A and B are shown apart, each in its own frame.
Chain A
């Protein structure tokens, strides 16, 4: 299990937490990794807290990221940063919502994809798979906006790192 990468996404219902985790899971799948993704939704659609776990590697067993063992924690809402922090491992990387300048985004709704761009900087997944996953997850009219958001996030992470 040592090669398994654990990513937790957190935010509020309606922010695209699940969509972001779907895109990462798909990108990892396209890159030939074993993938598991688990989330709890239902009531969560009504603006409450939502988290989604993605794990990928050679073989993934449990679909849930053990508490305190996340390598990356991607948070979409400022109010969720402190709450979900304990999920992150000691050497883990936090990707907070203010890493990306919202005003620079072509569309505020694409913050989730921008933060994926920031995450992509840390992960060993080829760009082509990221882009294919973004396109597969979103309707065509949103492709361009989100690809731009993805690049923006990637650059922002470069500056921060």
Chain B
């Protein structure tokens, strides 16, 4: 059996391989991005979707056909995928569907620290949570089995510390080969008109009930006997912090975090004098356990913020509420020196624009010296927010509003905002600047539908941002290179701001970190005489 040092993300990819996954799909989002890249490198079939909702729908379709599918995203991506997720709980699956959601307690690279366990409860889906890479491997395999057995999508919750930590993983040898997908018609299960959805909801609750009963005895809650004076209930990597901080304590480590094995928890709590629930993020377990009438102690509200670690766990156990030491104040990230966004930000600043921004490298333009972004809410939100500002501000200010968005984010959810812009144009018009650097730079240079290459950098059809804008009827559509012609960019932007019309400016220049690779892929495609990439020379 192979033993290797793997990150949690790589371990999930290995499980997808060994568990016979037919298709992996997702949208890049730190810290989940490496799962699909590693799955592809191992020889799995992996692809990037334009956004998480589409990824989940593709995975669901594959699972309807009897295949095994894995869909990956970060926690905020689960918000985008939530719509199909809730209904997928009703329809169930024929093969297996595992949705990996990577949470980011402490917000190493995210705009909020929401707790995805709430989605498992709200959607009524089982959720597993690993503590290290070995468990990430084992629980990803278990999630595939559970999904197949209960005919339900299964959520696998990861956190930054599990995704990006490396530890030793022993892979199992042969796992049973996955059956070849076959479509069997089942309209009443898969078409959720109310008449079919009502019984489907009852079926879901029944499945959850039997799953809960199974979970009471399944090896997904590990009871470590220790002192009778202190017992701790913990999940994920937090359980490891607890073992280190309080080696003498009794510990119940929960791997199945929804539904909870409440009877086992009741017995555990009764076996110790003091029982503390220690969990990162929301008090999900503590609340559920207390609601079941089991008296436990939770963590103080101040520990709701950020990651837990060994010293913080010691504090929780000691009920120590004294001020915690400040984290080292490091140097914030910044735009690369020769980044094509520099001239864009200096122009926006010079023209005194009100900038509705979005998520990507260019979000770093919010920092000095530019401080060039006034809003940044969610993927694709720059369009809607910019339009809202335009609708209500006095004309003079409305004319200064610009929405800026990156190419990958534009394809993700910006496109819907462009449709809104055309449909409900503000009286002053609006200006959208698409910063097209030819890659998804922030997460590590992934491809997207606008680059004309698949996850493996192989040529495929290429979406044209300017073509789309023209097709939707935007009055002014221009493409400029902000590095080659910064003065031209400034003239163009100033001119467009003064017109009461809709304008889209595509500021196109490859990310300097990605440029060499992009050239290499293009060369390879040209050498292969690829016909699918007619726009290659414009990149």
* Chain A residues within 8 Å of B, Cβ to Cβ: 1, 12-13, 22, 25-26, 29, 34-49, 51, 60-64, 66-68, 79-80, 83-84, 86-87
Contact = CB atoms under 8 A, between A and B. Distances in A.
Contact of A42 (B109, B132, B240, B330): B109
Nearest to A13: B333
Contacts of B444: 45
A22 B330 CA distance: 22
Given A36-B166, A37-B165, A63 B330 contact: no
A67 B166 contact: no
Interface of B: 5, 30-31, 106, 108-109, 132, 160-161, 164-168, 237, 240-241, 243-244, 247, 307, 309-311, 325, 328-336, 361, 364, 442-444
Contacts of B167: 34-37, 60, 63
| 3 A-B pairs with the lowest CB-CB distances in the bound complex, closest first | A49-B330, A42-B109, A48-B333
A42 B30 contact: yes
B5 A80 contact: no
A106 B270 CA distance: 64
Contacts of B364: 43, 46
20 contacts: A1-B247, A13-B333, A35-B5, A36-B167, A37-B166, A38-B161, A40-B164, A42-B31, A43-B109, A43-B333, A46-B333, A46-B336, A47-B331, A47-B333, A49-B330, A62-B241, A63-B161, A66-B244, A68-B311, A83-B328
Contacts of A64: 161, 241, 307, 309-310
A48 B5 contact: no
A49 B328 CA distance: 10
A8 to B, nearest CB: 10
A89 to B, nearest CB: 12
A67 B5 contact: no
A39 B108 CA distance: 10
A109 to B, nearest CB: 15
Contacts of B335: 46
Contact of B108 (A29, A40, A80, A83): A40
Contacts of A41: 30, 108-109, 164
**Interface SS of B by simple majority:** loop
Contact of B361 (A44, A46, A48, A79): A46
B334 A46 contact: yes
A1 B241 CA distance: 12
Nearest to A41: B164
A100 B294 CA distance: 59
A62 B168 contact: no
A86 B325 CA distance: 10
A122 to B, nearest CB: 21
B309 A67 contact: yes
B336 to A, nearest CB: 6
Contacts of A60: 167
Nearest to A22: B166
Contact of B244 (A34, A61, A67): A61
Contacts of B240: 61-63
B241 A43 contact: no
B256 to A, nearest CB: 21
A12 B164 CA distance: 18
Contacts of A83: 328-330
Contacts of B30: 41-43
Contacts of A39: 164-165
Given A61-B244, A66-B310, A38 B165 contact: yes
Contacts of B442: 42-43
B108 A48 contact: no
A1 B244 contact: yes
Nearest to A83: B328
Given A47-B336, A80-B331, 12 more contacts: A22-B166, A25-B5, A25-B166, A34-B167, A38-B161, A42-B442, A44-B333, A46-B334, A62-B243, A64-B309, A66-B311, A83-B329
A35 B165 CA distance: 10
B330 A80 contact: yes
